[in-house]
Structure 1
Amino acid sequence: MIRVLLADDEAMIRAGVRAILATDPDITVVAEAANGREAVELAIAHRPDVALLDIRMPQLDGLAAATAITGAVPSVAVAILTTFGDDEYLARALDGGARGFLLKSGDPRELVAGVHAVAGGGAYLAPKVAARVISRLRPTALTRAGTARARTDALTPREREVLSLLAAGLSNAEIGTRLNLVEGTVKGHVSTILTRLDLTNRVQAAILAHEAGLVAD
């Protein structure tokens, strides 16, 4: 069972997200917070598998809460609940340890898939979020894409396969099943990929994979 902490200052948003998550029998919401400070306190108290955090909350925003939660309880996977108007903050969320970016207005299946992905140790970018992040971060589409392809071309074919599946939101175990590899081997590939590409986390790797065209947006 995946235990989730849900934090959003709007009660109706929390109710909607909770209802979506309730459609999956393997997910349960164990606590809800109406502000970032409360989210941190509940994360420490309940130690959920996943913390879903809105960015704009009173007392402590989602970015600061993400940093506090990952610092206090590293086992908690943080995913950001965002709207298109919030994508300027996503780079800061990466530094705060967030593993996923989910749209409040997106396909409900993406929300469920994202929770499963980050709970399993993976990273998840809602397709529309990935496109927005890439667009905002790149100086020009061709330059950024060309640079990304050049970097990923240095990887072995197997490493590019692993990177593509990582960017699609699969966990190490799921990648292993897809490629007929043991989980420990996949973990080794991921570590090598991050080192060779000079990246610090799986979300950065996922963004680079999208830029390089290794996964469909």
Structure 2
Amino acid sequence: MIRLLLSDGHAPAREALRAGLVAAGGIEIVGEASHGDELLALPGTAAPTVVLLDLSLPGPDAFALLPALRGQYPQLRVLARGELSSEQYVARAFDLGSHGYVLKNAQMQELTHGLSAVAAGRPFLCSAIGLALLSRLYTGTPADGDAARLALGLSKREMEVLSLVAEGLTNAEIATKLFTSKRTVETHRQNIMDKTQTRNTAALIRLAAIQGLLPS
């Protein structure tokens, strides 16, 4: 029996997950979290064997949660669940302590298979990502920064700014790194948001992750 700590920041989605996982059998939900701080506090009392980690959970950044969870509870197994499929994003999750990665649109059967694999001490990668990586390997078509830039309608300098935003640099730090003014960086950021129809830094970082620009 897998003792599962379930996390999802969206209550209806969490309820649907709970129902599906309980119906699948072999899983006992021993705790639920809707916020990162709540998730960090629960394993000590709930004694789960596996945590299903929602990478978009409100609160501390998911990539800060992962090493914190592993540091506090080294025996805990982690299956990360996210919307992004870029290899850099997935690799970062594994590098920071996740034992598996599954997309949020995966079928319940694949999700339960992933939980079973992780609980048994095996790594797990959902089939959609695995097949995409395999296809890239055989076709020899790695991510192309220029192709991504052209598809987004960005200039080379705007693409540089987007990449540095993804690294977490402030406007002032980006200005220093690119030997330009803070005002110019602010203009570039606004142009990027206008061209990509994003509204804030979080959306920019999500875009950068999709385009494979997040630091590994």
Deviation of 1:44 after TM superposition, in Å, equals 2.7
Paired residue for 1:61? Answer: 61
The verdict on how the C-alpha distance between 1:125 and 1:33 changes in structure 2, with shifts beyond 3 A counting, is same
Paired residue for 2:16? Answer: 16
Contact 2:9 2:35 in 1 (8 A): yes
Q: Is 2:32 the counterpart of 1:28? A: no
Provide the identity percentage.
35
Paired residue for 1:127? Answer: 127
The verdict on how the C-alpha distance between 1:115 and 1:8 changes in structure 2, with shifts beyond 3 A counting, is same
Q: Is 2:22 the counterpart of 1:41? A: no
Paired residue for 2:104? Answer: 104
Structure 1 unaligned spans of 5+: 145-217
- Structure 1, residues 172-216: CA drift from partner, whole Å, max 9, x if none? xxxxxxxxxxxxxxxxxxxxxxxxxxxxxxxxxxxxxxxxxxxxx
Paired residue for 2:71? Answer: 71
Root-mean-square deviation (Å): 2.4
**C-alpha distance in 1 between matches for 2:47 and 2:87:** 27
Query: Which of structures 1 and 2 has the bigger CA Rg?
Result: 2
Contact 1:47 1:73 in 2 (8 A): no
Provide the secondary structure at the position in 1 that maps to 2:102: strand
Structure 2 unaligned spans of 5+: 143-216
**C-alpha distance in 1 between matches for 2:59 and 2:4:** 21
**C-alpha distance in 1 between matches for 2:53 and 2:81:** 6
Provide the secondary structure at the position in 2 that maps to 1:22: helix
Query: 1:42 corresponds to which letter in structure 2?
Result: L
**C-alpha distance in 2 between matches for 1:133 and 1:49:** 29
Query: 1:122 corresponds to which letter in structure 2?
Result: R
Paired residue for 2:186? Answer: none
Contact 1:2 1:50 in 2 (8 A): yes
Query: 1:54 corresponds to which letter in structure 2?
Result: D
Paired residue for 1:95? Answer: 95
Paired residue for 1:118? Answer: 118
**C-alpha distance in 2 between matches for 1:78 and 1:126:** 14
Provide the secondary structure at the position in 2 that maps to 1:57: coil
Q: Is 2:144 the counterpart of 1:142? A: no
The verdict on how the C-alpha distance between 1:9 and 1:29 changes in structure 2, with shifts beyond 3 A counting, is same
Query: 1:142 corresponds to which letter in structure 2?
Result: G
If the length of structure 2 is used for normalisation, what is the TM-score? 0.59
Deviation of 1:47 after TM superposition, in Å, equals 2.6
Paired residue for 2:181? Answer: none
Spell out structure 1 runs of 4+ moving beyond 6 A. none
Contact 1:102 1:114 in 2 (8 A): yes
If the length of structure 1 is used for normalisation, what is the TM-score? 0.59
Deviation of 1:88 after TM superposition, in Å, equals 4.7
Paired residue for 1:52? Answer: 52
